[in-house]
Amino acid sequence: MEQQNLTIKKITGKIKLLTGLHIGAGSETIEIGGIDNPVIKDPRTGLPYIPGSSIKGKMRSLLETSEKKFGGKDKDKNGPCNCGKIDCLICKVFGNTNKDSKTGITRAVFRDCFLDDESIRMLNERNLTATEAKMENTIDRIRGTAYNPRTTERVIAGLSFDFEIALRILSGDDEKQIKEFIKKGLNLLQMDALGGSGSRGYGKIKFDKLMYDGKNMEIAENAQ
Ligand SMILES: [Zn+2]
């Protein structure tokens, strides 16, 4: 492949939690205190964070649904698009493993999002913890009884995380098209939910103070 110029454009902002957020730590994590379903935490601080991979994965699947792009004819029809075609924004922006890929490097790098200073200050001032435990039952519809009670940990509503995507723009790229595609994804994410139990109302977020390359970036409130 010929040598291409690379420019990095940063998208920064805040992710504000409008409802509690649950991004699971995985079953290999042992939590002290009787929580069945802990949230993922930064081992350095013990505070919850949002892995960049969680945002990337959710945004990709929402855009794939919206663009009607899936695995296609291959065995995993509902899997991620892996066409590797030069004009496929999903494969170009989020990456693919197609051996004949024409898309080049993955354009969007999603950083892990940590609690912002203001949220940490607020927690300290009010003597609050960043997470809460919610008891959840599965309801037996026939007997009308609850069974299998589990405690799920979630990050409390009202906290904000610092958000960043690094966009790699190559010389042949249509920067505006890639930017608009990311904006659409951010908007879909805002209308949908992040993390687990979205259908129970968890993980409603709002992007705030979004900047593209140091300039204000608006994403439409209710656009489809
Ligand atoms: Zn594709």
Q: What is the DSSP letter of 32?
A: T
Q: How confident is the model at residue 71 (pLDDT cuts 50, 70, 90)?
A: low
pLDDT tens figures, 140-166:
777 777 667 788 899 999 999 999 999
Q: How confident is the model at residue 33 (pLDDT cuts 50, 70, 90)?
A: low
Report the alpha-carbon distance of residue 37 to residue 29 in Å, rounded. 9
Q: How far is ligand 1, taken at its centre, from the CA of residue 215, in Å?
A: 30
For residue 224, tell me if it sits in a domain: no
Cα–Cα distances (Å) from 30 to 101, 201, 216, 218, in that order, read 40, 26, 42, 41
For residue 206, tell me if it sits in a domain: yes
pLDDT of the residue at 196: 83
For residue 94, tell me if it sits in a domain: no
Mean pLDDT of 112-126: 97
Task: Indicate the pairing of strand 113-114 with strand 108-110.
Answer: unpaired
pLDDT of the residue at 223: 45
- Its domain, for residue 64, covers 6-75+105-216
For residue 67, tell me if it sits in a domain: yes
Q: How far is ligand 1, taken at its centre, from the CA of residue 114, in Å?
A: 30
Q: How far is ligand 1, taken at its centre, from the CA of residue 172, in Å?
A: 18
Indicate whether 13 pLDDT > 90: yes
Q: Is 67 helix (H, G, I), strand (E, B) or coil?
A: helix
Report the alpha-carbon distance of residue 215 to residue 211 in Å, rounded. 5
- CATH for 159: 3.30.70
For residue 90, tell me if it sits in a domain: no
For residue 162, tell me if it sits in a domain: yes
For residue 42, tell me if it sits in a domain: yes
For residue 86, tell me if it sits in a domain: no
Cα–Cα distances (Å) from 130 to 119, 121, 126, 133, in that order, read 9, 11, 11, 11
**Domain tally for the chain?**
1
Q: How far is ligand 1, taken at its centre, from the CA of residue 96, in Å?
A: 7
Q: How far is ligand 1, taken at its centre, from the CA of residue 87, in Å?
A: 8
Q: How far is ligand 1, taken at its centre, from the CA of residue 69, in Å?
A: 7
